[in-house]
Amino acid sequence: MTFNKQQWSRDYYLKNKERITARNEAYRVSHQEVVTKRNLKWQKNNPDKVRAMQYRSNRSIKGKARMKRYRDTHKAERSELFKKWYAKNKKRMNALHCSWVANNPEKSKQMDRIQYARRKKAEGTFTLTEWEAVKKKSNYRCAKCGKKKKLTVDHIHPLSRGGTNYISNIQPLCKSCNCSKNARTDK
């Protein structure tokens, strides 16, 4: 029978686990600067491994719970840090936002519609897919004049008069018909 060093090491560790753990912890405490320096050097030389480890750790159930606890206990501190960061990067963030809006006009409009409905305290919401289905159902024509123009979202029962923001309360109207309808209900 040949000597298997890996098996011997595993067996030795399992037999002496508490003693080895205590020794390692004592070393980390007494040589904190050396350990920190070594860890930082390893992190600098292995950024992909660090990123992968952080990703796995943060996506685990324990990691998500840990992140939530941290966010909850450091709310004011995180808010201040974000405000400082945003003040430094305001121009860059505005440029990113403008380019996103230019590249995603439908999504941007949808976000504006959702915010408007929230301000009006309207119940419900609808997705872009549902809106596209309503337009397709009307053959991309205005529900009022029947012309094939660029369509806008119209609430059959207006939000200002207590209407909902569900897709069942939405009809596609061209801009001129929508503006002429204003806050009236269709009869």
* Interval 22-70: pLDDT, tens: 999 999 999 999 999 999 999 999 999 999 998 988 888 988 999 999 9
In a domain, 159, yes or no: yes
Task: List 170's β-bridge partners, or say none.
Answer: 155
Give the structural domain span for 53.
8-81
pLDDT in tens, the chain (187 residues): 678 899 999 999 999 999 999 999 999 999 999 999 999 999 999 999 999 998 988 888 988 999 999 999 999 999 999 999 999 999 999 999 999 999 999 899 999 989 989 998 889 989 999 999 999 999 999 998 999 989 999 999 998 888 899 999 999 999 998 888 877 776 5
Q: Is residue 158 part of a domain?
A: yes
**8 Å CB contact between 117 and 159:** yes
Co-location of 23 and 74 in the same domain:
yes
> 163 and 113, same structural domain?
yes
Burial of 179 (0-12, 13-18, 19+ CB in 10 A): exposed
| Domain count along the chain | 2
Enumerate residues 6+ apart whose C-beta is below 8 A from 125.
Answer: 114, 117, 165, 166
Q: What is the pTM of this model?
A: 0.54
